[in-house]
Amino acid sequence: MRGYSFSQFLPSNIPKGGFDELLKLFLELLNYTSGDANEALAWLNELDKQYNLTQDDYGIGDFIDELKQKGYIDDNNNSGGFQITGKTEQSIRKSALEEIFGKLKKSGKGSHNTNLSGLGEEKNADRREFQFGDSLDQIDMTASIHNAQINHGISDFTMTERDLEVEEKDFKTLTSTVLMIDISHSMILYGEDRITPAKKVAMALAELIRTRYPKDTLDIVVFGNDAWPINLKDLPYLQVGPYHTNTYAGLELAVDILRRRKTHNKQIFMITDGKPTCLKEGNRYYKNSIGLDRKVVNKTLNKAAECKRLKIPITTFMIAKDPYLQQFVRKFTEINGGKAFYSSLKGLGEYIFEDYIKNRRRTVR
């Protein structure tokens, strides 16, 4: 018999047990409910009814009590329900980081070793004479005094420039990144949730930078009809709106942010699933969702060229497969000199992390 035979899906790896197992599921649900604790708990309760997540001596009510005791949720006096706390927001970011970065480590990606020496923070075993331009904190004073005593004697202490010995440090690049996230209506169109993976990536990337590269900067810009920056703490609550896609406004804001950064390495990561369809002209919006509007496209391509002149590469993560949209992205990438990934939602995080770490090794002069 040809064809497919369908049967009921019986999940075999649903966590079952106490607080830690339920917390992982609760944090995952919060990504899909945009930080709404009440909706996430309602979903959790339904999943428990259907799949028997809890044990006889520990139910969802016990889990909610423990969430409150451990500071993950607070009573919301306005709605009579619950709201998540800063501790939960951080836990969501850590969970996203472990999920995405863990896959990179298992696949052997993400190495960012460099054999260059220069300005940095991590000392190595190399020593050399002082050269004009070296910072004072690189000078090994103990070794330098020792050199002066050997070279000039100890009776009449003298130190010259040739006595100074410098400790080499491992080269480090500092990078300023703007992550642009498309929140137009198309990000949830046709029943496909694209905004949740984008939020996960943003939270994981922010946690990676905060914990591993604390001197790097990450700014997050969302764009629909307009563009505006959001704080890290706002990410779990981010939702798609009834917007068109004003890519130009997003790029304009990203460039303005990066102009104020003092680092040499600057880059833009853009997560989008569609074409630019909107511009703001004074107080009115020019919108056209049909095809590729020449007026909107040309202005967006001009901004890509400006980014190239400013040495700001744009890496576009395109999560749509329409050939004519990919053609636009190829043109956009060619003009900017950046890169484009035509990624599925499943591999989005790994692509962005690998590219971010790789770009940290690039030095823009």
Q: How far is the C-alpha of 195 from the C-alpha of 201, rounded, in Å?
A: 10
- Whole domain around residue 142: which residue ranges? 117-170
Task: Answer yes or no: is 67 within a domain.
Answer: yes
Per-residue tokens: 313: 């590469």
Could you give the number of structural domains in the chain?
Answer: 3
| Residues 39 and 142 placed together within one structural domain of the fold | no
Q: Is residue 213 part of a domain?
A: yes
Residues paired with residue 139 on neighbouring β-strands, in sequence order = 166
Same domain for 336 and 188: yes
Residue 104 resides in a domain: no
Decide the pairing of beta strands 314-318 and 339-342: parallel
CA separation for the pair 290, 11 (Å, rounded): 42
Of 126, 150, 170, the position where a domain reaches its end is 170
Same domain, 266 and 301: yes
Among 133, 149, 170, the domain boundary falls at: 170
Which pLDDT value is given to residue 166? 85
| Phi/psi at 25 (5° precision) | -70, -40
103 domain-assigned: no
Listed in sequence order, the residues at least 6 apart from 14 whose beta carbon sits closer than 8 Å to its beta carbon are: 47, 51, 53
Do 217 and 146 belong together in one domain?
Answer: no
pLDDT by position in tens, the chain (length 365):
455 566 665 555 555 568 999 999 999 999 999 999 999 999 999 999 998 898 888 999 999 999 999 999 999 877 778 999 999 999 999 888 888 766 555 554 444 344 433 344 445 556 788 877 777 777 888 888 888 888 888 787 888 888 888 886 655 568 999 999 999 998 887 778 888 888 888 898 888 888 888 889 999 999 999 999 999 899 999 999 999 999 999 999 999 999 999 888 899 999 888 789 999 999 999 999 998 999 999 999 999 999 999 999 998 888 777 788 888 899 999 999 998 887 666 667 777 777 787 776 554 43
Assigned domain for 306 exists: yes
Task: Give 280's strand partners.
Answer: 285
| Domain end marker among 141, 170, 199 | 170
Residues 38 and 124 in one domain: no
Q: Give yes or no: residues 158 and 183 share one domain.
A: no
What pLDDT is recorded for position 161? 84
Compute, in degrees rounded to 10, the torsion defined by CA atoms 355, 358, 361, 364.
-30
Are residue 187 and residue 332 in the same domain, yes or no? yes
> Do residues 219 and 157 both lie within one domain?
no
Same domain assignment for residues 57 and 144: no
Q: Tokens 């905060």, residue?
A: 210
- 205 and 273 part of one domain: yes
Query: Is 106 among the domain residues?
Result: no
Based on the fold, state whether residues 132 and 63 are members of the same structural domain.
Answer: no
Q: Are residues 147 and 190 in the same domain?
A: no
What secondary structure, in 3-state letters, does the chain show? CCCCCCCCCCCCCCCCECHHHHHHHHHHHHHHCCCCHHHHHHHHHHHHHHHCCEECCECHHHHHHHHHHCCCEEECCCCCCEEECHHHHHHHHHHHHHHHHHHHHHHCCCCCCCCCEEEEEEEEEEEEECCCCCCHHHECHHHHHHHHHHHHCCCCCCCCHHHCEEEEEECCCCEEEEEEEECCHHHHHHHCCCHHHHHHHHHHHHHHHHHHCCCCEEEEEEECCCEEEECHHHHHHCCCCCCCCCHHHHHHHHHHHHHCCCCCEEEEEEEECCCCCEEEECCEEEECCCCCCHHHHHHHHHHHHHHHHCCCCEEEEECCCCHHHHHHHHHHHHHHCCEEEECCCCCHHHHHHHHHHHHCCCCCC
Task: Please report whether residue 9 resides in a domain.
Answer: no
Q: Is 203 exposed, middle or buried, given 0-12, 13-18 or 19+ CB atoms closer than 10 A? A: buried
CATH of the domain at 319: 3.40.50.410
Q: How confident is the model at residue 333, as a pLDDT? A: 93
Domain presence at residue 200: yes
What is the model's pLDDT at position 300?
Answer: 97
Q: Nearest 5°: CA angle at 240, between 234 and 246?
A: 100
